[in-house]
Amino acid sequence: MDVYGLLGNPVGHSLSPPMHEAAYEELGIDARYVTFEPDPDRIGEAIDGARALGIRGLNVTIPFKRSVLSLVEPDGLAEEVGAVNTIDFAHDPPTGHNTDVAGVTRSFAHHDVALSGREAVVVGAGGAGRASAFALADAGASVSVANRTESRAHELAEAVSGASGHALDSLPRLLAGADVLVNATSVGMDGDESPVPREALHADLAVLDAVYSPLETRLLREAREEGALTIDGAWMLLYQGVEAFERWTGERAPVERMDEALRARL
């Protein structure tokens, strides 16, 4: 039996196990997906232990996405983004990937949203913001990053080809001519709040919110009411998992079955 899993702290809330195990069951793969919650100061020992135990692959979440960079051989994209969320132990040293980027691009592709040549706005400059900005830029979009701490928006913009950094109060101006909006902050997860003023939303936008609990955040509700196309955060979670599954197994992921298993837990 092959073992895959998730490395994070905490991980008790994770929806990855049912999603991946549904894929194993669908394809008849003899595997399990388990969670690991190491002490943050012992992440190196955790990676060594996983390798010694023959674990095939690990997803990585908070707070380890950046700290594992030096413990694996990151591919070019993961190195560029500055974060690893998927480790493949098929090689020595293990390789590190960032499938959050694919989570963004495949979510838009699933909803028939073309990104090349579009004007995109990313709210947030943390881990999800970095993955979103790189995903959109690599797909051919022009990217503007807006963040509560403006200096962090500028730092991210400097790392992303052709991007620009802005304060949050620039959102109405930025969104007036935008085609794509990504909320890469946690605003909307714990209350009925939105990081974007309603008056800045319009019907020509495609809006992806990385928050998946609740599925319809205030941002998505208001964007839908303004006529925009909306994409909930479960799609991003799904497609980063699909990308990891396909890297580990070499099999085409049963996307519909994984989506059913994920949404059944939301």
Sequence letter at residue 180: V
User: Could you tell me the two tokens for 138?
Assistant: 């690599």
Asked if 149 and 129 touch (Cβ cutoff 8 Å), the reply is no
* 29-44 core/surface letters (b: 16 or more CB in 10 A; e: else): bebebebeebeeeebe
Asked if 191 and 185 touch (Cβ cutoff 8 Å), the reply is no
Inter-CA distances, 124 with 50, 131, 134, Å: 33, 11, 13
Counting Cα atoms < 13 Å in the Cβ hemisphere of 121 gives 26
Report which of 204, 212, 209 is spatially closest to residue 220, judged by C-alpha positions: 209
All residues at 6 or more sequence positions from 47 whose CB lies less than 8 Å from its CB, including other chains: 68, 71, 72, 87, 94
- Beta strands 57-60 and 31-36 are unpaired
In the block, tokens 């480790």 appear at 87
User: Could you tell me the two tokens for 70?
Assistant: 């030096």
Q: How many CB atoms lie within 10 A of CB 76?
A: 8
Look up 65 and say whether it is catalytic.
yes
Q: Which one of the listed residues 15, 22, 65, 219 is annotated catalytic?
A: 65
- Residues acting as catalytic residues: 65
